[in-house]
Amino acid sequence: MDKIPVGVLGATGTVGQKFIILLQGHPYFEIRELVASERSAGRAYSEVVKWKQDVPVPQPFASMQVKGLDDSLDAQILFSGLDSSVAGAAETAYAEKGHFVISNSKNHRMDPDVPLVIPEINPDHLAMVGTQRYKGGIITNSNCSTMFLAMALAPLHRAFGVASVHVTTMQAISGAGYPGVASMDILGNVIPYIADEEEKMERETQKIIGTLKDGVVEPAPFAISAQCNRVAVFDGHTETLSVKFERKPEIAEVARALRSFSGLPQERRLPSAPEHPILVMDQPDHPQPARDIWLERGMATCVGRIRPCPVFDVKMVILGHNTVRGAAGAAILNAETFVKLGYLKS
């Protein structure tokens, strides 16, 4: 098929940079437009970006002229890595003009008519786009820490019924964007506060695992208690999780439910889909950010140390790549699902 023209909003930021890396040579999409702040507009991308990726700025994007948020765009799909301070109004404006915004920003996630999607879990929620008030539409992916929690809980809730959850996170500094956390604050330290993070995990997970009825999402009924910490790890969010179930399973049953989990992206063999969305690890000292985040190209959720919990029923450790599956890669997989299911209007 002819490639779909796409744009990247917030192209100079860390998530925008990751979009550019992951969209290179994509079989569905071709980047035609890079969008950033007005101070960057009209200049070559390589002149304005503080590039922080492991490879050089790809050609031909280095010489591509950056557009501003007020400029007219031609791309059907816009991948948004905009900062939340500007994302809400900008994404709304683009959707009203007929663009389909695939957003990594927090602003619209909890809007009642906006789908908050993880395609392995709730691809049916994409139907909500058809009832939005926009000429185009807005689709969101979750907060990075929510992503891995929801991925682990979804198959367990289907199999055993989740009753309540306690989760503690150890989140990488890359999740704070660039320049991130000051070195004198994070080196040799743990910061036990990330603004709004706990609330996002508690609310977003319930929406993702919730049920779509008559165009409205009924949140999952179980309670979540989250405690979020920033730690001196560059990439990879680790989470320790304790779960109480409606029907207490054996440990082997939990591992089997996680290992066998797959969804529409795997069935349709979407380009960004991991073959195994959840990797269950048997080694007692895994998962580890330095060893495991790039498994399945950074798109898997790693789960280990599944064992009995003396307070709840089962406890485990989960891990994922926060800037790939927890950000840009998640948005791209959402766009692939949206296109594959035939929702993109010509």
**Which residues participate in catalysis according to the annotation?**
144, 237
User: How is residue 16 written in tokens?
Assistant: 């925008």
Nearest CA to 236 out of 145, 320, 154 is that of 320
User: How is residue 1 written in tokens?
Assistant: 């098929």
CA 287 to each of CA 80, 149, 291, 306: distance values in angstroms, whole numbers, following the listed order:
30, 14, 7, 11
Residue linked to tokens 């956390």: 181
Helix (H, G, I), strand (E, B) or coil at 15: helix
User: How is residue 166 written in tokens?
Assistant: 């306690």
Beta-carbon count within 10 A of 22 CB = 24
User: How is residue 288 written in tokens?
Assistant: 């580890």
User: How is residue 244 written in tokens?
Assistant: 């109480």
- 266 burial via Cβ count (<10 Å: 0-12, 13-18, 19+): middle
**Cα–Cα distance measured from residue 145 to residue 276, given in angstroms and rounded to the nearest whole number:** 19
Helix (H, G, I), strand (E, B) or coil at 110: coil
